[in-house]
Structure 1
Amino acid sequence: MSRNTAIARIHAPARSAMQSGKAKGGGWMLTFAPAEARKLDPLTGWFGSGDTQSQLRLSFSSREAAEAFARANGIVYEVEDAPAVRHEMKPKSYAENFRYGRAENWTH
Structure 2
Amino acid sequence: MFVKNKEGTRAIMPINDFANICGYFYNAAFNNFNIPTPNNGYNCKHPNCDVIEDGYGCCYTFSCPLGWEADDEECNEFGLDYEEGEFIVTEDRDILDKLLE
TM-score (norm 2): 0.24
The answer to which structure has the higher helix fraction is 2
- TM-score normalised by the chain length of structure 1: 0.23
**Higher RCO (Cα < 8 Å, 6 or more apart):** 1
